[in-house]
Structure 1
Amino acid sequence: MSKLEAEFEQKDIAAVESGIIEGSASSDSEAEHQLNKYGAPVEKYNPLGTQMNYMSLFYMIISGVVGTGIFGTPGTILDQIGSVGASYVLWVVGFIVTLFRVLIYVEYVTYFKDRSGGDVAYLEQAYPKPEFLVPTTYAAITVVFSFATSSATAFGSYILQAVNAVPTTWNQRGIGVAALVFTTGLTALSTKWSLRLANFLGHIKIFTLFFIAISGFAVLGGGTRVTNQFANFQHAWKGTTTDPNAIANSIVNISFSYGGTGYAFSLVSEMPMAKRMKGFKLLVPTTFFFIFVMYILCVTAFFAGSGTLDELKSSHVLTASLYFDNVFGTSGRRALDVLVALSALSHLIVVVVGHSRSLRECGRQGVLPYRNFWVSVKPFGTPLGPVAVTFIINLIVLLAPPAGDAYNFVVSLGSYSGYIFDFFLSLGLLFVRRQRKRRGFPSTGFHVPFPVVVIHILFQLFVMIMPLVPPENEDGSLRGTNVSFFYATYCLVVIGLFLLCFVYYFFWQFILPKYGKYAHRVQVYTLENGAKGNRVVKIPLDEVEEWDTKHKSIELTTVDKR
């Protein structure tokens, strides 16, 4: 135990002896329905405030999903899957599967309506046994993979194109770092102004999508200088690949384009209760369907006006730029580059805001050191510690890896770990239902059909396995499609990191307590501003029974004056 932890231990004991004890967290109705007794305590009155409203929620979905994916990945997906027809299938299937994921999130919200953090809160409740395993693993993985670099680098790339500058690794990274500093600084200072800026940039993003969709109709109608607008739709299925690895990578890109809905669910308790259920049950799925419609219209515009299939396939992450250059000329392309850069910036804001809430929930679970660093919302009413960690991790990822293979590899690590957590999140919903039924908890009125949950589980299992299938390279090598080394390296590294977390957990939870002759117990503490969290303490074995009796049905309050 560190000197700081010992100091808090004495404060806790003093609090008990002086009668500064709150009622059990189970006095709140939702806390009674929590399934994990060691889960982070419910903050009935969120110290982060309630800045979210319907408009903010709408733009959290818009900005979370619509980053740079729709503007850059259609050409890459076409190149990987091989044909226009198969590309459309992927865009539709990607929407359906992601919609299933959204509905699963919504059901979790109805069960834990006062919990923010998204995945971290729901996984904690879905897997209460073994004690501390899920919080420990999720916290470690999430801290290590706090990536938001794709939006930062995309912002730099499109800004350079807009000013017609020659992009280099370091000028692109420099602009990306500036964007990261701005967004994390704003998030640390004010949640309200972060959301307001995201809302404003969201307006621009919707305008951009509508403009591309309408211009696509103009292209198809022959109203532009494009003369071969239907050429790419002929023989729509020609060239469709059967390479499992290429299919897996195209699914990864589709998932990237549709990903980001989870950030809104990281701020559930920051929306007033009167608006919360209606917002997440109705507004979120409706908004996502709107995005799907706009995506299909934009993809159609790109196929019609971006030149030949070979040009589209070689456009890589610059599909929208190729389209605007072909339809409107250089000046039109530069205008689009500015709009896409702003889209990337709004996505970066949402990522930082949402991810900081997930990291704060990890801290509230009690398994990370220096708990107040993660939990406190001083001095600006924002999770300053988690925002700082997000900034540091992303700064390292932006600056440290060499361009190309190393950077693609690092980004793939975060994506693959996300698939694993999505799989356990979907499976965990079935466990939550069973546990709630056993305890006699009432129905919440929202129930995702069982086949939908099973389909999503199987899909996540599919995207976890497919990257392990060897690619069909012409030279017979096992080189990856986006790296020049062994194709499954990032998968093996992520799996190895999970195993390392399990080994650490086993030693921390079983080996060390056995030889140290102590047991882990959890205390709930409350900071001066009402922020709550867990603290895992070591109780000598001969004092466990007395400790359990003394602390039964009470909440220990630590008033932090710092």
Structure 2
Amino acid sequence: MSKIAQTLLYPIWGSTEDDTSYNLRGTPSEKTSPLGYSNNLLTTVYLVLHGIVGTGIFSTPATILNSIGSVGASYVLWITCWFISLFNVLIYIEFVTYFPNRNGGDVAYLEQSYPEPKFMIATVYAAVSVVLSYATSSAIAFSQYILKAADAEATTWRERGIAAGVLTGVCLMASINTKYTLKISNILSFVKVVFLAFIAITGLVVLGGHTRVRSPTANFQNAWEGTTSDGNAIANSIIDVTFSYSGFSYAFAVVAEHQKSAKEDPIRTYKTFVPLTLFVIFIFYILIITAYYAGSGTIEEIKDSGNTVVSTFFSNVFGTESATKAMSSLVALSALGHLLTAVVSHSRALRECGRQGVLPFRKFWIQVKPFGTPIGPLFITWLVNIIVILAPPAGSAYNFVVDLGTYSSDIFSLVLVIGLLQVRRQRKKAGLGYAGYKVPTALIIILILFQLLVIAIVWVPPSNGTLIGSDVTFFYATYPIVTIGLILLCIGYYLVWYKVLPKLGKFEYRYSVYRLNNGELGNSVIKVPLDKLDQWDSEHTEEIEIEPIESIYYEEF
């Protein structure tokens, strides 16, 4: 095989790009984004805000308190898990410094971290991402709180109908114009910040004794009383708190669409303002949780409030129906903002999966005509979420499919953290250093240990003597078993596709890079018969322009 042909199959290191944009010869880096440049500093900040602050902080604190048992222990969880989230953000920032022209976040960084076995991580992540394209929680939350604001009966199909409608509207909006979709998202983010500040300030007023709430400091006395030692309960608490801090990765899915100018430096934005935004959210969270504990009644009343703790807080503090309706409207807007962010970000991740070349119908995944948006990935995002909203019966089945997505994210997060060490090793071997930012190795070790803990603790059985899950009516460990089974199934598919079929069909796979008319780049995976390998390798020494040219002796996968 010629030296140039080998570069189509194996890693190469930035001979034509500067050190900050070195690239493995995996999915080619699009130096000019065909999706445009709708992202800037403010949008990035708001993407982090929307990604993290959906409905979690308005619903999970009471559930977490109920699981962990005490106010003091809950604060420990909220503080500890914030540091874990910060460490994860730093991991992503180092990846950004290496790959500033790559969209997709996790999918792009995993691909670059694990070039071998060839195609495996791309195949597995792409398959899992398509199957688990879930953004349903925000659509469902929007429908629930809108019905509360309208004082309408919340029937199952009324909730599902509204959720399906808002999901469809958001996907259509994102398909037509990314710029204005993000502008609407920014407006909703501003509303969200005002809402968060209002709850936080109201909590301080309650603590000062200036509202109708009596004994606002009572719940802070004997703060450690009732702390649980139940491993399963602690596990559920950690997962719930981690979920409330997740979502910052949405901002990293649109890195390549960030405006580049003297005033808009993407690297500086991600290095400085993303961690700063996370810190501001942390302050809001602590103040809001404190507000709940001060103004939502006794400890037992807070635990019993479940997912309606914010409603309980407003009702106790203001005592008027109009205040509660206003609160429901604002939480609904918060859920809508999160949905916008999730749809835009996930469509970019799916497009990157398509550009890797391992999914069939490549044009469907990477095409941005006619509006300059990834319509194919947006359609898949809509389709999968519509099925999840409408098909499963209410209750256990819905919780189950959501848990599948959460657990798979935990597994890939662990793989990604380890992947950063892989990239460092690859760069060192290639004679390259860091690109202006380095996460301390000690923090990486902490993250690896924490992710292993989160993955393992879901297997801890409940202490009540039964094996029924807390949010489902069947075996508590069903969703991790199915998640791992799905990943193993994808690995099995890869082994058959990449190892078995070529031997049976007497061919080998080759990488081919193509360029469409508007500058879109991607990989084609080509099946080349063994007796035509030398001819293929000698002829395909350069990037193929416009479209790969088919011939009688090879075919595109």
**Which amino acid in 2 is paired with 1:486?**
F
**Residue 201 of structure 1 corresponds to which residue in structure 2?**
188
Change in 2 beyond 3 A, CA 1:408/1:427 = same
1:84-123 deviation line (CA, Å, top 9, x unaligned): 1111011101100000000000000001111110000000
1:245 aligns with 2:245: no
**Residue 349 of structure 1 corresponds to which residue in structure 2?**
340
Q: Quote the offset at 1:263 in angstroms.
A: 0.5
User: Larger deviation: 361-370 or 225-234?
Assistant: 225-234
Say which SS state the counterpart of residue 534 (structure 1) adopts.
strand
Say which SS state the counterpart of residue 134 (structure 2) adopts.
coil
TM-score, structure 1 normalization: 0.93
**Residue 499 of structure 2 corresponds to which residue in structure 1?**
510
1:558 aligns with 2:546: yes
1:469 aligns with 2:460: yes
1:421-474 deviation line (CA, Å, top 9, x unaligned): 00000011011101100101132120000000110111111100000111111x
Change in 2 beyond 3 A, CA 1:26/1:178 = farther
Say which SS state the counterpart of residue 316 (structure 1) adopts.
helix
1:34 aligns with 2:23: yes
**Number of aligned residue pairs:** 532
TM-score, structure 2 normalization: 0.94
Say which SS state the counterpart of residue 314 (structure 1) adopts.
helix
1:282 aligns with 2:269: no
Say which SS state the counterpart of residue 318 (structure 1) adopts.
helix
> Which of 82, 85, 88 is the equivalent residue of 1:101?
88
**Which amino acid in 1 is paired with 2:349?**
S
Q: Quote the offset at 1:305 in angstroms.
A: 0.2
1:11-40 deviation line (CA, Å, top 9, x unaligned): xxxxxxxxxxxxx996344697223x3x11
The answer as to whether partners of 1:31 and 1:42 remain within 8 angstroms in 2 is: no
1:325 aligns with 2:304: no
**Which amino acid in 2 is paired with 1:86?**
A
Say which SS state the counterpart of residue 184 (structure 2) adopts.
helix
Q: Distance in 1 between matches of 2:375 and 2:210?
A: 52
The answer as to whether partners of 1:25 and 1:42 remain within 8 angstroms in 2 is: no
The answer as to whether partners of 1:30 and 1:113 remain within 8 angstroms in 2 is: no
> Which of 59, 71, 74 is the equivalent residue of 2:58?
71
Q: Quote the offset at 1:243 in angstroms.
A: 1.5
**Residue 362 of structure 1 corresponds to which residue in structure 2?**
353
Q: Distance in 1 between matches of 2:399 and 2:215?
A: 35
Q: Quote the offset at 1:248 in angstroms.
A: 1.3
Q: Distance in 2 between matches of 1:486 and 1:245?
A: 13
**Residue 545 of structure 1 corresponds to which residue in structure 2?**
534
1:492 aligns with 2:484: no
**Which amino acid in 2 is paired with 1:189?**
I
The answer as to whether partners of 2:19 and 2:432 remain within 8 angstroms in 1 is: no
**Residue 114 of structure 1 corresponds to which residue in structure 2?**
101
**Residue 330 of structure 2 corresponds to which residue in structure 1?**
339
**Residue 5 of structure 2 corresponds to which residue in structure 1?**
none
**Residue 126 of structure 1 corresponds to which residue in structure 2?**
113
1:41-96 deviation line (CA, Å, top 9, x unaligned): 11000000111111111111111111000011100110111111111011101100
Q: Distance in 2 between matches of 1:32 and 1:506?
A: 31
Q: Distance in 1 between matches of 2:306 and 2:215?
A: 21
The answer as to whether partners of 2:19 and 2:435 remain within 8 angstroms in 1 is: no
**Which amino acid in 1 is paired with 2:516?**
L
1:279-307 deviation line (CA, Å, top 9, x unaligned): 11101110110000000000000010001
**Which amino acid in 2 is paired with 1:220?**
L
The answer as to whether partners of 2:21 and 2:101 remain within 8 angstroms in 1 is: no
Say which SS state the counterpart of residue 512 (structure 2) adopts.
strand
**Residue 4 of structure 1 corresponds to which residue in structure 2?**
none
1:308 aligns with 2:298: yes
1:243-264 deviation line (CA, Å, top 9, x unaligned): 1111111111111111110000
Equivalences for residues 185-224 of structure 1 within 5 A: 185-224=172-211
Q: Distance in 1 between matches of 2:161 and 2:318?
A: 30
> Which of 158, 177, 190 is the equivalent residue of 2:164?
177
Q: Distance in 2 between matches of 1:226 and 1:403?
A: 36
Q: Distance in 2 between matches of 1:454 and 1:133?
A: 25
Q: Distance in 1 between matches of 2:129 and 2:283?
A: 32
Say which SS state the counterpart of residue 307 (structure 2) adopts.
coil
> Which of 141, 147, 162 is the equivalent residue of 2:128?
141
**Which amino acid in 1 is paired with 2:302?**
L
The answer as to whether partners of 2:20 and 2:100 remain within 8 angstroms in 1 is: no
Q: Distance in 2 between matches of 1:302 and 1:278?
A: 36
1:453 aligns with 2:444: yes
> Which of 467, 475, 486 is the equivalent residue of 1:478?
467
Q: Distance in 2 between matches of 1:406 and 1:451?
A: 40
1:378 aligns with 2:369: yes
**Which amino acid in 2 is paired with 1:215?**
T
**Which amino acid in 2 is paired with 1:371?**
R
1:500-558 deviation line (CA, Å, top 9, x unaligned): 01111100001100010000111111111111110101011122233223323x11123
Q: Distance in 2 between matches of 1:199 and 1:292?
A: 20
1:48 aligns with 2:35: yes
Change in 2 beyond 3 A, CA 1:281/1:25 = closer
Q: Distance in 2 between matches of 1:166 and 1:102?
A: 41
Say which SS state the counterpart of residue 248 (structure 1) adopts.
helix
Say which SS state the counterpart of residue 306 (structure 2) adopts.
coil
The answer as to whether partners of 1:26 and 1:32 remain within 8 angstroms in 2 is: no
**Residue 553 of structure 2 corresponds to which residue in structure 1?**
none
Q: Distance in 1 between matches of 2:509 and 2:21?
A: 23
The answer as to whether partners of 1:30 and 1:114 remain within 8 angstroms in 2 is: no
Say which SS state the counterpart of residue 153 (structure 1) adopts.
helix
**Which amino acid in 1 is paired with 2:188?**
L
1:171-219 deviation line (CA, Å, top 9, x unaligned): 1111111110111111000000110000000011000000000000110
Q: For the aligned residues, what is the CA RMSD?
A: 1.4
Say which SS state the counterpart of residue 536 (structure 1) adopts.
strand
Q: Quote the offset at 1:493 in angstroms.
A: 0.1
**Which amino acid in 2 is paired with 1:338?**
S
Q: Distance in 2 between matches of 1:478 and 1:232?
A: 33
Say which SS state the counterpart of residue 442 (structure 2) adopts.
helix
Q: Quote the offset at 1:235 in angstroms.
A: 1.2
> Which of 289, 292, 303 is the equivalent residue of 1:299?
289
Aligned identity (percent) is 53
The answer as to whether partners of 1:118 and 1:265 remain within 8 angstroms in 2 is: yes
**Residue 433 of structure 2 corresponds to which residue in structure 1?**
442
